[in-house]
């Protein structure tokens, strides 16, 4: 199977996203087991993501991230149990 460099980069990025989601899910579950409310966990996760994005890439990148999240929410990407027609 011949894989281009771009395809390999996409595979690596996809695997990193899966690993990141697994780590985040574990941390979320740990917090929930400690009695931390989902809204507080979500606020902390978003705040951390924005702080790290600003630290690494600057405020414009953080604003772009927030805008893309808004669009993704409106498209239903994060809606649990959604059905795509």
Are 54 and 62 spatial neighbours (Cβ–Cβ below 8 Å)?
A: yes
- The pLDDT assigned to 25 comes to 96
Closest Cα to residue 67, out of 50, 79, 83, 44? 50
Distance from first CA to last CA of the chain, Å, rounded?
33
Within 13 Å, how many C-alpha atoms sit on residue 47's CB side?
6
- The pLDDT assigned to 3 comes to 81
Per-residue pLDDT of the chain (85 residues; tens, 9 = 90+): 688 999 999 999 999 999 999 999 999 999 999 999 999 999 999 999 999 999 999 999 999 999 999 999 999 999 988 776 6
């Amino acid at each position: 199977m011949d894989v281009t460099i771009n395809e390999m980069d996409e595979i690596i990025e996809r695997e990193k996203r899966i690993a990141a989601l697994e780590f985040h899910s574990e941390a979320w579950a740990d917090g929930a087991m400690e009695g931390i409310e989902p809204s507080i966990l979500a606020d902390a996760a978003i705040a951390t993501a924005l702080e790290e994005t600003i630290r690494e890439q600057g405020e414009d990148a953080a604003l772009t991230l927030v805008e893309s999240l808004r669009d993704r929410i409106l498209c239903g990407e994060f809606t649990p149990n959604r059905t795509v027609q």
